[in-house]
Amino acid sequence: MTAVVTVATAAPYDVTVGRGLLPAAVDSLPEGAVRVLVVHSAPLRDRADELKGLIEATGRTPVLAEVPDAEEGKTAEVAAFCWRVLGSSDFTRSDVVMGMGGGAVTDLAGFVAATWLRGVAVVQIPTTVLAMVDAAVGGKTGINTTEGKNLVGAFHEPSAVWCDTDFLRTLPANDRVAGLAEVVKGGFIRDTRILEIVEAETPALIAPELDEHAMEVLEELIARKIRVKADVVAADLKESHLREILNYGHTFGHAIEYTERYQWRHGAAVSVGMVFVAELARLAGKLDDAAVDRHRSILTGLGLPVTYPGHRWDALLTAMKRDKKTRGDMLRFVILQGIGNPVRLEGPDPALLAGAYDAVSR
Active-site residues, by number, are 118, 140, 182, 229, 239, 243, 247, 250, 254, 266
In total, the chain counts a number of residues equal to: 362
- 73 is annotated as contributing to ligand binding: yes
Burial bucket for residue 175 (CB in 10 Å: 0-12, 13-18, 19+): middle
Q: How far is residue 185's CA from residue 87's CA, in Å, rounded to a whole number?
A: 40
- 156 is annotated as contributing to ligand binding: no
- 53 is annotated as contributing to ligand binding: no
- 293 is annotated as contributing to ligand binding: no
- 9 is annotated as contributing to ligand binding: no
- 127 is annotated as contributing to ligand binding: yes
Question: Interhelix angle for 76-88 vs 103-115, to 10°?
Answer: 50
- 72 is annotated as contributing to ligand binding: yes
55 half-sphere exposure, CB direction, 13 A CA radius: 26
- 241 is annotated as contributing to ligand binding: no
- 265 is annotated as contributing to ligand binding: no
- 237 is annotated as contributing to ligand binding: no
- 286 is annotated as contributing to ligand binding: no
Distances (CA, A) of 100 to 238, 264, 296, 355: 24, 22, 33, 42
Q: Which residues lie below 8 Å from residue 13, measured CB to CB, with a gap of 6+?
A: 6, 7, 157, 158, 159, 160, 161
Q: Which of 134, 346, 344 is nearest to 242 (CA)?
A: 344
Q: Are 130 and 154 in contact (CB under 8 A)?
A: no
- 39 is annotated as contributing to ligand binding: no
Q: Are 10 and 37 in contact (CB under 8 A)?
A: no
Question: What does the angle CA 66 – CA 70 – CA 74 come to, to the nearest 5 degrees?
Answer: 75
213 half-sphere exposure, CB direction, 13 A CA radius: 9
Rounded CA Rg of the chain: 20
- The sign of the dihedral angle between the CA atoms of 227, 228, 234, 237 is negative
Q: How far is residue 270's CA from residue 291's CA, in Å, rounded to a whole number?
A: 17
- 251 is annotated as contributing to ligand binding: no
- 165 is annotated as contributing to ligand binding: no
Q: Are 347 and 287 in contact (CB under 8 A)?
A: no
- 238 is annotated as contributing to ligand binding: no
Which residues participate in the annotated binding site for NAD(+)? Answer: 69-74, 103-107, 127-128, 140, 149, 167-170
Binding-site annotation, residues for Zn(2+): 182, 250, 266
Please give the annotated binding residues, written as ranges.
69-74, 103-107, 127-128, 140, 149, 167-170, 182, 250, 266
